[in-house]
Structure 1
Amino acid sequence: MSFAPDNRQGLLHVPAGTGLTKWVSGDIYTMKSTKAETCGSLGFVEAIVPPGSGPIAHAHTDEDEAFYILDGELEFLDGDRTFVGRQGDFVFIPRHRRHRFKNITEVPTKTLFLFTPAGPEDLFIEGGDDPRPGEQPVPWDMARVEQVMDIVQRTGLVVLPETP
């Protein structure tokens, strides 16, 4: 059996404990694969979501997103309803669907999430903060989101904040 050649250079192997780490929306994101590394196929992120942390509600115009919760719990917004995802749960979010996740517990949550096709992770890479030893990431408010709005728009995100 033969397969048509493509422009990939072989397998992508990202050893445990490696990958570019950025602080985004108060979370710690480690990129395991990006648009550049997968020819646009898949963005894959390992995340630690501290208590009270998570992104502002948004939708993706061109990508689907999926989560697998490794440890802990996250509250998900699905349109206008919320539900809690727990350890071992899988959550699929189709493109154009308003969503967000938030850690409403007292302990950090560890999750994996991915984008297909890749692309939104560019916001984390370009707009995220570099980790600072001895400090903790700070949740983003709308003023911080405004600072990276050019990247938000370029990556096809639509910010859809919740009203109190």
Structure 2
Amino acid sequence: MIPDDDPSRSLTVANPDDPATTYISLVGNTYAMLITGEQTNGRYCLIDMRVPDGGGPPPHRHDFEEMFTVLDGEVEFYFRGEKHTVKAGTTINIPANAPHNFRNVSGAPARMLCMCTPAGQDEYFTRIGDVVSGPDAPAPRLSPDELTERRHRAAELASAYRSEFL
């Protein structure tokens, strides 16, 4: 039987151009928090990822599903050590716990939507990155000490967000 509607939950309309959108600068990438776990009762989050040429995270894994749809550009995904080139219009799903990473090596910016289920990655990124004013805002200029602090914070919080760097 389907539960009754929960009128306390409202419709969410996500627009990356909305001035209320939170943008996070993280390792040179800019991530827009389109739909947060808070808005979905933790069911999922949706992140608009803008990845410059050469950008992408180090190898990692986590205990949640992660689905990417490439909107612009071309991105190399490494899944269990095997390279997969993903072009605009393509969607891939990374199963929970599988080692992976991605890298934009296209020579141009790339843009992807990333859905994580359950949510949590949105909160993790917000806690380890720096808020910027919009999708084209420059990354903050961090001193070597600030960069070291960000890396330590990411590593320290990873397990709380069911993630592990490899």
- Which TM-score band (shorter chain)? 0.7 to 0.9
Q: TM-score, normalised by structure 1?
A: 0.85
Residue in structure 2 matched with residue 48 of structure 1 by the alignment: 50
Please give the secondary structure, in 1, of the residue aligned with 2:130: coil
Residue in structure 2 matched with residue 135 of structure 1 by the alignment: 138
Please give the secondary structure, in 1, of the residue aligned with 2:131: coil
Q: Does 1:83 align with 2:84?
A: yes
Deviation at 1:41, TM superposition (A): 0.8
Deviation at 1:147, TM superposition (A): 2.8
1:104 & 1:57 partners in 2: Cα distance? 16
Deviation at 1:15, TM superposition (A): 3.1
Residue in structure 1 matched with residue 117 of structure 2 by the alignment: 116
Residue in structure 1 matched with residue 144 of structure 2 by the alignment: none
Query: Which runs of 5 or more structure 2 residues have no equivalent in the other structure?
Result: 142-146
Deviation at 1:145, TM superposition (A): 2.6
The one-letter code matched in structure 1 to 2:73 is G
2:120 & 2:74 partners in 1: Cα distance? 26
Q: Is the 8 A contact 2:155 2:165 kept in 1?
A: no
1:49 & 1:137 partners in 2: Cα distance? 15
Q: TM-score, normalised by structure 2?
A: 0.84
Are the structure 2 counterparts of residues 78 and 137 from structure 1 closer, same or farther at C-alpha, using a change threshold of 3 Å? farther
In the TM superposition, structure 1's runs of 4+ consecutive aligned residues that sit over 6 Å from their partners are none
Residue in structure 2 matched with residue 28 of structure 1 by the alignment: 30
Query: Which runs of 5 or more structure 1 residues have no equivalent in the other structure?
Result: none
Please give the secondary structure, in 2, of the residue aligned with 1:152: helix
More helix by share: 2
Q: Is the 8 A contact 1:24 1:137 kept in 2?
A: no
Q: Is the 8 A contact 1:67 1:92 kept in 2?
A: yes
Deviation at 1:151, TM superposition (A): 2.1
Aligned counterpart for 2:163 among listed residues 133, 139, 157: 157
Please give the secondary structure, in 2, of the residue aligned with 1:149: helix
The one-letter code matched in structure 2 to 1:135 is P
Please give the secondary structure, in 2, of the residue aligned with 1:59: strand
The one-letter code matched in structure 1 to 2:138 is E
Residue in structure 2 matched with residue 64 of structure 1 by the alignment: 65
Deviation at 1:70, TM superposition (A): 0.5
Cα RMSD, aligned residues only: 2.2
Q: Is the 8 A contact 1:50 1:109 kept in 2?
A: yes
Q: Is the 8 A contact 1:33 1:43 kept in 2?
A: yes
| Deviations, residues 32-73 of structure 1 (Å, cap 9, x unaligned) | 111111100111000110011111111112x10000001101
Please give the secondary structure, in 1, of the residue aligned with 2:33: strand
2:61 & 2:97 partners in 1: Cα distance? 5
Are the structure 2 counterparts of residues 83 and 134 from structure 1 closer, same or farther at C-alpha, using a change threshold of 3 Å? closer
Would you say how many aligned residue pairs link Structure 1 and Structure 2? 155
The one-letter code matched in structure 2 to 1:23 is S
